[in-house]
Structure 1
């Protein structure tokens, strides 16, 4: 099938030859073109079960989610476009973006026109986003859809998403190294916690926001990616409330934290956007102040910019922050 980009390239080539006249021999194609022409096609099967075939490893890629963008940068391929570049800069520090990365709208509603203007050879997006977006994009560019999260095995899912993206980018060796580095970090962290007598200790992880006078708390329960990281370090998730089957997340309020009675529990939270509802919004809350982990000073705010839904680099950051909190 002749794509829009191929058609544009063909028109440009004809115009160039016409401008040069017919009295001179055509210049040889650059070596890069010859190499690209001989590239082996790549086929990946994405989370939809759809086989997506590329003529060659993708180099001009638009990512519509931060976790996938982090994976790309970690693999050595900078996206040409990303949804909500500013937000990425706030919440994700494990893999910095180049100034050249263009913003293509919000993660909830990316701009098809902005994506098309970049003439990408691949778009990477998550399965949960607007399903009507995929056919719009596939009119002019291949689309690979990641699973994004799976509370039944989120670490395994993250590895699978990374390897799929790496295959599409021709960066499988780099993916193996990222995962090996993460495994080494987890093994080293687990050993440090065991040596410190921390193995098996309970933890809880949350983030939150304020809506008027109400404070909502989102708990990272069994199956959340960062919960999987902490349990790999030898810790035990103290929060056993109801969670959704995809993300492993549950909603509660400050009263919902009262079952966390074990005095050994350490409470971690994320507030990278500057709105710290735990240190500020709950500072005078009587229920909060009586929680055992608050009374014992076992509340840890994660360093800003550790993305809790990220790839191996963010997972590594999170693991290192957890170990530091227990052993520093």
Structure 2
């Protein structure tokens, strides 16, 4: 993060219509939220499938893969700047023959992933002379989060439930979003507490057997759709015996990218809130 900030702050702003390539999806998200359309994005088709928001225009081509960018295409595009994730540092010298390069910090258990993404966004904004615009975007996100928080308070009569966000990897295994995951950062900004605290990790997730979910006491469990094999689990006696299933404390979140930039917090918060608002509140 410090390297990115130093490089971007040292550079002057580019033209009003900058020619920039994003070789990581977080950089692509942040450029789009600065009203800058990248010349190309690594794995652009997969971005449109998995990340989805903010929308990447159809005309933006793929710059190769996120692990092996297309250097010939990049040279042909003649960008003014190339933004890379840390995993491409080993080819920085090749990329710098094409255009100046800046590197984004990535997910790590050694820093707060949300604050790191926020710093990355603001650093990129300063480079392009768009910091005021960027801060307006962040303020709008905070206002949206505050509004969602108020809706949740009203729905749950002032007693917000603890929440666990999961993603099934199979009928027998599940990823639990814990400390330093973007899902949990979104929860924190909605003033929601985790029902199953986990230690920090680089991506904030832990894979565990589905049976582990039975240990979670209280709160709501939300699973991120899609789960193609749900019929192999949800109809089983094991699943129906889970306390949160019996008590109606289980819900589905619409598909949302959990490894994104700073605005993935807003998209996750929206999906979490929508799912919670469908949970029936039992009268005490």
Q: TM-score, normalised by structure 2?
A: 0.85
Distance 2:160 2:212 in 1: 23
Work out whether 1:208 is the aligned partner of 2:160: no
Distance 1:184 1:89 in 2: 27
Checking the alignment, whether the CA contact within 8 Å between 1:185 and 1:319 is kept in structure 2 is: no
Work out whether 1:132 is the aligned partner of 2:90: yes
Distance 1:289 1:134 in 2: 52
Distance 1:197 1:150 in 2: 37
Checking the alignment, whether the CA contact within 8 Å between 1:48 and 1:145 is kept in structure 2 is: no
1:52–1:132: structure 2 CA closer, same or farther, 3 Å change rule?
Answer: farther
The structural deviation recorded for 1:224 is 0.9
Work out whether 1:97 is the aligned partner of 2:56: yes
Checking the alignment, whether the CA contact within 8 Å between 2:9 and 2:123 is kept in structure 1 is: no
Work out whether 1:172 is the aligned partner of 2:128: no
Checking the alignment, whether the CA contact within 8 Å between 2:182 and 2:264 is kept in structure 1 is: no
Checking the alignment, whether the CA contact within 8 Å between 2:179 and 2:197 is kept in structure 1 is: yes
**Larger-gyration structure (1/2):** 1
Match of 2:239 in 1: 288
Checking the alignment, whether the CA contact within 8 Å between 1:254 and 1:287 is kept in structure 2 is: no
Work out whether 1:230 is the aligned partner of 2:187: yes
Work out whether 1:268 is the aligned partner of 2:225: no
The structural deviation recorded for 1:101 is 0.7
Checking the alignment, whether the CA contact within 8 Å between 2:41 and 2:60 is kept in structure 1 is: yes
Checking the alignment, whether the CA contact within 8 Å between 1:45 and 1:51 is kept in structure 2 is: no
Distance 2:68 2:238 in 1: 39
Aligned residue-pair number: 274
Checking the alignment, whether the CA contact within 8 Å between 1:222 and 1:243 is kept in structure 2 is: yes
The structural deviation recorded for 1:114 is 2.8
Unaligned runs of 5+ in 2: 279-284
Checking the alignment, whether the CA contact within 8 Å between 1:267 and 1:293 is kept in structure 2 is: yes
Aligned counterparts, 1:1-328, within 5 A: 46-47=3-4, 50=7, 53-54=10-11, 56-57=13-14, 59-127=18-86, 129-151=87-109, 152-195=111-154, 196-197=156-157, 199-210=159-170, 215-244=172-201, 246-262=202-218, 265-271=219-225, 274-277=226-229, 279-304=230-255, 306-328=256-278
The structural deviation recorded for 1:275 is 4.7
1:103–1:237: structure 2 CA closer, same or farther, 3 Å change rule?
Answer: same
1:77–1:259: structure 2 CA closer, same or farther, 3 Å change rule?
Answer: same
RMSD (Å), alpha carbons: 2.6
